[in-house]
A and B are shown apart, each in its own frame.
Chain A
Amino acid sequence: MSALGAPLRRLEGTAKVTGAARYSFEHTPDGCVYAWPVQSTAAMSRIIAIDVDAVLAMPGVVDVITADDAERLEDADDGELMVLQSSNVAYRGQVVALVVAESLETAREAATRLRVDYQTGDVDAVLEPGHPKLYAPDEVNAGFPTDTSVGDIDQALAQAHAVVDHTYSTPAQFNSPMEPHATVATWSDGRLDVFESSQGSSSTVQILSTLFGIPAADITVDSQHVGGGFGAKGSPRPNVVLAVMAARRVGRPVKLAYTRQMMFALAGYRTPTFSRIRLAAGEDGRLLGLAHDAISQTSTIEEFTEQTAESSRHMYAAPHRSTSHRVAALDVPTPRWMRAPGEMPGMFALESAIDELAHEMGIDPVELRVLNEPASDPESGKDFSSRHLVDCLRRGAAAFGWEGRDPAPGVRRDGRWLVGTGVASALYPAMVMPSSARVTARRDGDYLVEINAADIGTGARTVLAQVTADRLGVDVDRVDIRIGVSSLPQASIAGGSAGTASWGWAVSKASLALVDRLKDEAVPDDGLSAEADTADDIEAMADVDRHAYGAHFAEVRVDLDSGEIAVSRMLGVFAAGRILNSRTARSQFIGGMTMGVSGALHEHGVMDAVHGDYANHDLATYHVAACADVPDIRVEWLDEHDDQLNPVGGKGIGEIGNVGAAAAVANAVWHATGVRVRDLPIQPDALVRHLPMRG
């Protein structure tokens, strides 16, 4: 029986729960010292003086590195990584010095005592529609075009039977993985060894090679266990650059970990977004036009433009369409990837607007979506590799009990609660990135698969062992797997929901090559190996549109006394190709939906406009959903076969659970209360005055 699809437990589960699995910071090389970043307490400013001597005199302090004496780095095309290269400060919380000491406690205390004088200017840190610094970037994240246009959207709006024209916003959101970023760096004999909490150590090696001007072959980055990332560890952050710089300079291994508070300035986050959605519908509910104009922020040292309107290019049929992105470079920390960059905020906006249109036209929200299902990609005209959104909506509606739903808002009461339900669609691109792998047959009859994949808690290690076992036709317990070290065959990052597809393809190809060799060759003492690289295969793929789809259904209860919202149950139905491990897949879907609930109701980075940082920079004040907030979440998936993806047949599941979930909750809040909240998170503030009084 094939190992694919089986609910295999995580191979490293026991090691993790017993503490045997060591995360980056748990490595302590002999003779190591500790580094502590000193963060700017001024926003956009210039450093006038740093009193290094006073801190150097403290017992146990080894070194203090500042922009005055830090080694010069080569530009690796990420301004956020050019640490300690300039006396200019771009945002509050940027690193202005690094203290190195014999103990963590000394390093921390010395860092707080380091006196830094700044020449400050006005702070411009609040993104608003119409901000004078908004401009059109050359492209947006992931290389998507900034603007697109088909037909004449203005004409469609003018001729429409019904028009929806509203602006929706999402706040700054922080990835908040359990394990903060951490690095342990050791230089010896010109070689660099790094333990780094990373979603992709192959790319970390390349970037360190560029920054420090040493051959990639002389660098090893080990990321065998990673405590979550959600995009924040998808590319190196300042921590690894600082640790490597300090280790080279002091000639000893250096350990550096962010505090939770540092994560809010130095780890990346999802930019706040504003999305203006305009929908023009004909009398029958079919869309004539669809426009999505998005704005977001970036920092002054690195341009990052969230692709907020990208999903609106693919969701619904409409002959007239237009999308745009504008970004403002503000005195703020540099935003970066967070689970479903673009799709999460963009689909909150679009799927809220579709719900508004459904109400305005008196059409059931599920039916309105079905009515606007395109036959091919609505903007490019490309064929779909497969698209089963309607099946997700239909199956979800049946399983959730949508049929017979009273569309009237604000009329269902249960004790002191108002009750409502909502639906929203989801999509996420099915991507694949070049990777390589090696599979070895051993004399003892077991197999070893090696690939520099990253398991950030998803179960990647387990799934890749399953793919290998399936291709070799053996039990999974015959397969050893090594991942998470850059000396292994190079592989893509755990990002873009593309890890399993990309790595699985390489592992599959190498396994099949090994099976071929084993037909003619005996296994020598040191084993028989086959390697594979998928770059050419990916290059040769047909030019079709590949996306995974899903439908979220949510039921919420709103407390009449307080405006507090509880999501009482939720269902997600997904069409994401072949599901390779039903246990870990379910966990990822549930995790994504939980993040969607968290974004809908809780998460809110509050900008301190005076000081220029996110004021609520810890997990007591930046609220991530607690267990008590997470409802009865059910996940189902369609048995979808798509032979235009990759040999393992999966579309990727890491992010789609977080796409559309917030809109389903917001639409349910409207159905419960009659109050349309277009700005996340939905908190009592927006509801309490509008709810009927009890008694």
Chain B
Amino acid sequence: MKPLTYERPATLDEAVSLLGRGEVPTSLLAGGTNLVDLLKLDVESPQLLVDVNHLGLDRIDDTPNGGLMIGATVRNSDLAADPRVRERYPLLARALLSAASGQIRNMATTAGNLMQRTRCVYFMDATKPCNKREPGSGCPAVEGASRELGLLGTSDSCIATHPGDMAVALVALDAVVHFVAADGAGTIPIGDFHRLPGDDPSLDTTLPAGAIITAVEVPPLAFASTSTYRKARDRRSYAFALASVAAAIDVDGDTVRDIRIALGGVSPRPWRAHAAEELLRGAPATADSFRAAAEAELAAATPTGENALKVDLVVRLVTGVLLELTGSER
């Protein structure tokens, strides 16, 4: 760990101005549940840490249209326990509770969760090549330990996954990320927030340099009352997803009227299953159509030798989750 300077601004303006100077590599410190590890492991070496825990960004407010505005430093535990989240967005509450451990959720924040880095074992080991950590050094994962890694939206240069759960639910909900920077405030639809690697995996997100996330807005979605989050993993707590599904469904009789599906653990971004959703709108709410839609979504998958399991896993998870939500299992 390299020596660094620590600043704890009391206001958002002060934080933005610290960040806006851009004199030295700077990281924001919220819960620290990922960043502190990365500092110790020499994966990240900022020279300035700006602590954003004291900016008053820890409120959950109703929006006029019936959605929620979630402050950037609302803790994962608090968000999961909020009655409005539990009632309006069961998939979000369940995604949060499936993540990490109780201790980590008590520290981890909403914005920090979006900004967490991949847990690819090559990225996490500063003694090995990694295009995300050291652009141009190569990607040993493609031919190496890739069982946990991605198969949708990956590239030759990087197959790392976004490791989170919360963001998968937010992608299904069409959430919006709010930020401020020196030149003013802005928003990014969550679906555009995480980048695909292409030939430059070093940048995980589209958040502008010098910007600070202030809140995540979740719009209302009536049929999110029929929603859930399921995560397949190698142990029943404190493990990242092999694959996960966030889904909400609106069924009219035997027909799917509307649907949201997002996948975790399969891509550098929380993966909105647009192709599957398209196929299912207006389709019969049956196991066969659920399965066919999931298979269509996975048609573009490029599994490695080690993670081909995820193709079958996603198809089964999507089918099982939708059967459960619709109660249509024979």
Interface string of B227-258 (1 = CB under 8 A from A): 00010111111111011000000000000000
Interface string of A600-633 (1 = CB under 8 A from B): 0110001011110001111011010111110000
List residues of chain A with CB within 8 A of the CB of B147.
606, 685
A163 CB–B CB distance under 8 Å: no
B21 CB–A CB distance under 8 Å: no
Whether A628 and B236, one on each chain, are in contact in the complex, defined by CB atoms closer than 8 angstroms, is yes
Whether B237 and A626, one on each chain, are in contact in the complex, defined by CB atoms closer than 8 angstroms, is yes
Whether A629 and B236, one on each chain, are in contact in the complex, defined by CB atoms closer than 8 angstroms, is yes
The docked-state distance in angstroms from the alpha carbon of A685 to that of B2 is 40
A131 CB–B CB distance under 8 Å: no
A566 CB–B CB distance under 8 Å: yes
List residues of chain B with CB within 8 A of the CB of A561.
230, 232, 316-317, 319-321
A324 CB–B CB distance under 8 Å: no
Which residues of B (270-317) have their CB < 8 Å from a CB of A? 286-288, 290-291, 309, 312-313, 316-317
List residues of chain A with CB within 8 A of the CB of B230.
561-562
The distance from the CB of B244 to the nearest CB of chain A, in whole angstroms, is 10
B54 CB–A CB distance under 8 Å: no
B38 CB–A CB distance under 8 Å: no
Do most interface residues of chain B lie in helix, strand or loop, or is the interface mixed?
A: loop
The distance from the CB of B121 to the nearest CB of chain A, in whole angstroms, is 5
The docked-state distance in angstroms from the alpha carbon of A165 to that of B148 is 32
Whether A628 and B237, one on each chain, are in contact in the complex, defined by CB atoms closer than 8 angstroms, is yes
List residues of chain B with CB within 8 A of the CB of A689.
309, 312
A684 CB–B CB distance under 8 Å: yes
Whether B236 and A108, one on each chain, are in contact in the complex, defined by CB atoms closer than 8 angstroms, is no
List residues of chain A with CB within 8 A of the CB of B243.
562
The range of chain A's interface size is 35 or more
B119 CB–A CB distance under 8 Å: yes
The docked-state distance in angstroms from the alpha carbon of A563 to that of B232 is 8
The distance from the CB of A444 to the nearest CB of chain B, in whole angstroms, is 46
Whether B320 and A684, one on each chain, are in contact in the complex, defined by CB atoms closer than 8 angstroms, is no
The range of chain B's interface size is 35 or more
Whether B128 and A611, one on each chain, are in contact in the complex, defined by CB atoms closer than 8 angstroms, is yes
Whether A684 and B237, one on each chain, are in contact in the complex, defined by CB atoms closer than 8 angstroms, is no
Q: How many contacting A-B pairs (Cβ < 8 A)?
A: 120
With A609-B144, A610-B140 in contact, do A416 and B309 touch (Cβ < 8 Å)?
no
List residues of chain A with CB within 8 A of the CB of B124.
618, 621
The docked-state distance in angstroms from the alpha carbon of A341 to that of B233 is 28
Cross-interface CB contact of A608 among B145, B309, B324, cutoff 8 Å: B145
Whether B309 and A695, one on each chain, are in contact in the complex, defined by CB atoms closer than 8 angstroms, is no
The docked-state distance in angstroms from the alpha carbon of A346 to that of B42 is 40
List residues of chain B with CB within 8 A of the CB of A620.
119, 238, 240
Among residues of B, the one whose C-beta sits closest to the C-beta of A685 is: B309
Whether B317 and A684, one on each chain, are in contact in the complex, defined by CB atoms closer than 8 angstroms, is no
Whether A560 and B234, one on each chain, are in contact in the complex, defined by CB atoms closer than 8 angstroms, is no
List residues of chain B with CB within 8 A of the CB of A608.
121, 128, 140, 144-145
Whether B145 and A606, one on each chain, are in contact in the complex, defined by CB atoms closer than 8 angstroms, is yes
Whether A112 and B144, one on each chain, are in contact in the complex, defined by CB atoms closer than 8 angstroms, is no
Residues of B participating in the A interface, judged by any CB pair closer than 8 Å: 1-3, 41-42, 119, 121-122, 124-128, 140, 143-145, 147-148, 230, 232-240, 242-243, 286-288, 290-291, 309, 312-313, 316-317, 319-321, 323-324, 328-330
- Top 6 closest pairs, chain A to chain B, by CB: A695-B287, A561-B320, A562-B232, A628-B236, A628-B237, A626-B237
- CB-defined A-B contacts under 8 Å, sample of 18: A41-B127, A561-B317, A562-B230, A562-B243, A562-B320, A563-B232, A608-B128, A608-B144, A610-B144, A611-B140, A615-B125, A621-B121, A621-B124, A684-B232, A685-B309, A688-B316, A695-B323, A695-B328
